Each structure stands twice: as structure tokens, then as C-alpha cells.
Structure 1
Amino acid sequence: MSSAALHDDLSLPFQIEQCDTRGRLVRLGPSLDRMLARHDYPEPVSHLLAEATALVATMAAALKFDGIFSLQAKGDGPVSTLVADYRTPGHLRAYARYDAERLDALALGPGATATLVPLLLGGGYLAFTIDPQGPDMERYQGIVDLSGATLADAAHAYFAQSEQLNARVVLGAAHRKGVDGRKHWRAGGILLQQLPLQAGGLSTEDRTFAWEKVTALLGTAKADELSDPALGHNELLFRLFHEDGVRVFETGALTDRCTCSQDKVRGILSTFSPEEITEMTTPDGLISVTCQFCSDTYSFPPDAVKG
């Protein structure tokens, strides 16, 4: 395994003990690149979806639950829908729906990545949904208006509304040239969360100072650093927080994996009426369904899906 591969598709929990802060670093490489390559999105759409995938992986990996954590953005801009979800233990999928003509009319320049939310999504909302598995587990959804220039800004609005503890996140994505001479998508994110006040721990005043310090340091993380395959995750954390000491824990794997299957699609089609099945049947005598996440296509003769 190459040294670069050791820094790919992983989630790394860490703690800055002297500052009463815990965190999570996510690095996405080949899994993200495969996910985006299936759709051949325009580069600005891919960039936004890469950051959304890094965001949902960063936030979900910090939660202690079994189930699905999803992000969904709906806007009135050229990108009408943006969806990314994380399923334990680390399965990711994502897709975007966009209007090609409206997107082309924007004529986005190289600096547009700093303001992709208002440019591409426009006005709308951002929803985060926790759908835990198991009996007596309730589904939770938090919704905020799309605000700010980036998905990180929108996430901060969600944190302010939904979290009792302070939290901050930075995201970065890039279409970088690899050792094979071709460009590949990469992304990363770092989430910081202030730990609950503990007896014998930092005073309220010291906690405030410590939080201001670590978030200021977090703000110095650059998109190029978050997506650099040659920069190790431990090295990145050391660069940012070495003055207060960073303790890292075991990494978790992240992978591109959809939930669709032949049986699931057949089951969905079997709920349609005979008239609807007839309408969906193409001249070649088949019903074809393409998954919006992974772009796999499933084809059935009508008799195979009748309820």
C-alpha cells in the first residue's frame, strides 16, 4: 500500500485534552472520486457535492449510533437538490440534481468555490436527519435556512440551533492531479466539539479562552491541506494543535457503497398498479430503473414485478 493510500478514506477521532475539546478528521480519496466519476457532474457541482460528502462523514462519525445520518439541501439555484448520507459503519453515497443551462449561464470563475452555496443552491434549506436502527429509536431531523457562503457556514447555523455544546467545522475539496497524471477528486474535513463542563476541569473562563484558541487554529487549515494525499492526518493535526497536545485514537474506514439492489428495486416496482407498470414498460419490453446515487441500472420484464 502506498503512503498516500494510508491517508485516504478514513475517519480519525482525536482529543485536545488541555482545551477540553474533541474532534474528528475525515479524508476522502478514491471512494469519493469513484462516487463523482459515475455522474460526470460539472466541476462546480462535483466540488459542492465533495464538500457535502466530507461534511456528512465528519459529523456522522462523531455520533455514537447505528443507522443513517443524512444531509439534504434544497435550493432555488441551478443545483436544486444535494444529498449525501453516511451509514454505519462508514458507507457513503451522494448525488446532486442540477439545471445545466442555468449552471452554464453563471460562467463561474476559479474563485467561485468560496461562495458555492449562494451561487449554486441559492435560497432554500439544509436538513440533517438521524435515522437510528433498533427498537424504540426515534428519527430526528434538524432544518436550517441555507446561509453563508459555504456548506461549513450553513453547518454552523445548524450547530447554533441544535447543539448545546460549541462546534466548528472546516471543509476542503480539490480536483488534484495524481501520480498517474490524471485529476482525481479528494476532500477532507475537521470537526471540533467542546466537551461538557467537568468537575475539576477547566474553569468557565479558561474554557472560553481555550475554545477561542482552538477554533482560531482550526480556521488556519487550508483546503489544499485537507485534500493533500501527501500530508498525513497525524501531521496535519500536529501542525494545527501541537501546542496543546493532540491524542489520536483508532481510525475508521470510509467507503463508497450504495444500498440499492435488484431485489429492492423489484420490491418497489411491485407496489405499482398494472396500469402504471404498463406505462413504464419501454418498447423493448422491459422496465428499467437507474439508481440516482450510484447510476446502476436494473431492468425487468413486466411479469417479474407485478404484485
Structure 2
Amino acid sequence: MTIGSQIAWDDTVLPFQLDQSDIRGRVVRLDGVLEQVLSQHSYPPLIEALVAEAALLTALIGQTVKLRWKLSLQIRGNGPARLIATDYYGPTDDGQPARIRAYASYDADRLDLTADPFSQIGTGYFAVMLDQGEGMVPYQGFTPIAGGSLSSCAETYFAQSEQLPTRFSLTFGQSAEPGRATHWRGGGVMLQHMPKAGMSVAAEAGSGEGGLLTHSDILGGEEGESWTRANVLLDTVEEIELIGPQVTPAELLVRLFHEEGPRVFESQPIRFGCSCSEDKVRNTMSIYSQKDIEKMTTPEGIVTADCQFCGAHYEMDPKTLGFEGKNG
């Protein structure tokens, strides 16, 4: 297998449908994107794991939504892993890549480096936010931190907020491929049962943790059996199959779901990308008075700002900032 053929499916999301069931899905492979996301910071390993999982979820969920601009995930908790934030920017034109960025905020002195990464989030919420651009009302959906992983939180979100049974199987880690430096790779599969027309279950009628809805509260009969069968098949996947690079996404789908009639659609390329700019920093500071700006000014007489996502560094003249500032 050549490096060129590997590139064809690295950093992509492949949509598919199981024609024998009302189930759609996505296969994600992140290689260079995940490496760029994590190389922006020197995170402890357990924070790297949370950011990697969140980035994979973002790629899968973002590609599922008919998106004009941005989808964001935020995981906030009262534990030492205070915040995991990701953004997915939809393609600006047909054939163009989507873009992903991600970062984490954490208390290094409170981290238990021997603990399960998810346990370091504590109590909090998992949020999905959609911004469809100017003139559109942003959407925000929240679900409590529940289950044993960020994937479980995302599954709970879709069951509770959208009443869509959803399953994620993800893996990620450092890859040591022959002829390449050690680097991050990640991969995963998302399954989602298509919505039933006119079907609605009371949100408080769930049988899951804390009364939250699960797939068994939403599906029954043949649909429930089809969903269970697809999940049993997904349970047979091996980490090396998810992460690649020797198994293509299409080959993976045939191996897992050949009896379900998998049908694939056009894949979506993904790149690392950030939307920060000096103009956006200035706009953010436009709410402050000159007195406030003075408090942000360094002894060298400048105001600095660093992007938490990509590490870009900005230096600005304080006289040009704030609502009293004068540009030019």
C-alpha cells in the first residue's frame, strides 16, 4: 500500500446508509488534523485523550448536520478538566474541506494523572451549539455529563434532545508507522437510527441514568431488533480497523455490515483550521473602556492576545482598542 493511497481516506468523514435498516452512519479517520490539534499545546496524556475523543465526535456530528457555518461542542465540568471546546466549520463551497479546531482548559495541580480521563471532568454538562450565520437564531442543546465517556454523553444528547438512537465507537492514539515519525491517529464509526415520523417520547420517561432517554425508550419491535443487530455487529470492530491505515473505510463497512446492505456516499475532507484574526480580537475588546484597556496593557506598552485554539499571537496598540480607541 502506498502513502498516496493512504492519504485518500486520511482526514475524511465517509457517510453511509444501511439499506436493510433505517440506519445511517459515518466513518471518520483523522490523521494530520488530530496531530495539528494536539500539537498546539503540551497537554498531559489524559487531557490529550479527552481532546482527541471530542475532535472525533465533532467531525462525525458536524458532518451529519446540514451546516451553513459552525457547530461547536462544549464539555464543562467542576473537575480539574474544566473545559473541552471544539468547533467544526462547514465547507464554504462544494468540494471544499470542513475545518476543525479544539482545545482544553484544565487545572494541572488538581489532575489525577493515574485516573480515567473522563473522571476528571466531574459534574457538568455536554453541549451542542449550532451557529448558522448572520440572521439565523443560534441553537443550543444540553445534556448532563453521564455514562463513562464523552461518546456516551453524545449518545445521551441525541436520545434526549433529538430522540435519535445513536452509537459511537471511537479509538485514537500514537501511531508508529514505518517510514513516518510517531504521530496521532484516530478513527471511529457513528450509527444513527433515522427519525420516525410523528414519533415522540416524553423526555422524563427515560430508563437511563438519572431518568435520561435511551434507545430502548425510543425504538421497539422490528426497528429495535434492527438497531440491536447493527450494534452487535459494530461491537466486533477492532481498534486497528477503526484507526487504519491499512483498512479503508469502505472495506470496514463491508466487513462489519455486509448483510445490512451498506451504501456509501461522497466523503468529506477535513482540515485543521482556525477562524481567529486581529479584527476579531479588536471586536471582542470593543466593549471595554480605555481605563479597562490600560489594565490589560503590558509594561512594554502593548496589549497581547493569544488564540487558545491555534496559538496565534497578537500584539496591538492600546490606543486603538476599546470603544474609545481610534484606529489609524
Distance 1:253 1:188 in 2: 14
Q: Which residue is 2:142 aligned to? A: 143
Deviations 1:25-76 (A, max 9, x none): 1111101101110111111111110110110110121112312111111112
Q: Which amino acid aligns with 2:132?
A: P
Q: Which residue is 2:157 aligned to? A: 158
Q: Which residue is 1:133 aligned to? A: 133
The 3-state SS of whatever aligns with 1:275 is helix
Matched, 1:236 2:252: yes
Q: Which residue is 2:262 aligned to? A: 246
Distance 1:196 1:300 in 2: 50
Decide whether the 8 Å contact of 2:12 with 2:268 is kept in 1: yes
Give, in angstroms, the shift of residue 134 of structure 1. 5.2
Unmatched 5+ stretches in structure 2: 92-97, 198-219
Distance 2:146 2:280 in 1: 36
Give, in angstroms, the shift of residue 181 of structure 1. 4.8
Aligned with 1:13 (options 15, 36, 39): 15
Give, in angstroms, the shift of residue 188 of structure 1. 1.9
Alignment RMSD (CA, Å): 1.9
Aligned with 2:223 (options 177, 182, 207): 207
Q: 1:86 to 1:196 in 2, by over 3 A?
A: same
Give, in angstroms, the shift of residue 197 of structure 1. 4.9
Give, in angstroms, the shift of residue 298 of structure 1. 0.5
Q: Which residue is 2:167 aligned to? A: 168
Distance 1:47 1:282 in 2: 35
Give, in angstroms, the shift of residue 297 of structure 1. 0.4
**Normalising to structure 2: TM-score of the pair?**
0.84
Q: Which residue is 1:201 aligned to? A: none
Q: Which residue is 2:177 aligned to? A: 178
Distance 1:27 1:295 in 2: 24
Deviations 1:253-302 (A, max 9, x none): 11111110122212323432111221111122211100111111001122
Q: Which residue is 2:42 aligned to? A: 40
Distance 2:150 2:296 in 1: 37
Written as runs of structure 1 = structure 2, the 5 A alignment for 1:84-103 is: 84-89=86-91, 90-103=98-111
Q: Which residue is 1:123 aligned to? A: 123
Decide whether the 8 Å contact of 2:294 with 2:318 is kept in 1: yes
Distance 2:187 2:61 in 1: 12
The 3-state SS of whatever aligns with 1:254 is strand
Deviations 1:209-249 (A, max 9, x none): 21110112123334433222222111111221112221111
Matched, 1:49 2:51: yes
The 3-state SS of whatever aligns with 1:73 is strand
Q: 1:271 to 1:197 in 2, by over 3 A?
A: closer
Query: Across the two proteins, how many residue pairs are aligned to each other?
Result: 293
Decide whether the 8 Å contact of 2:26 with 2:189 is kept in 1: yes
Distance 1:179 1:236 in 2: 22
Distance 1:127 1:157 in 2: 11
Distance 2:286 2:162 in 1: 42
Deviations 1:119-163 (A, max 9, x none): x2122111111222354x332211111111111111121122112
Give, in angstroms, the shift of residue 196 of structure 1. 4.0
Decide whether the 8 Å contact of 1:129 with 1:141 is kept in 2: yes
Task: Select the structure with the greater relative contact order (CA < 8 A; seq sep ≥ 6).
Answer: 1
**Normalising to structure 1: TM-score of the pair?**
0.89
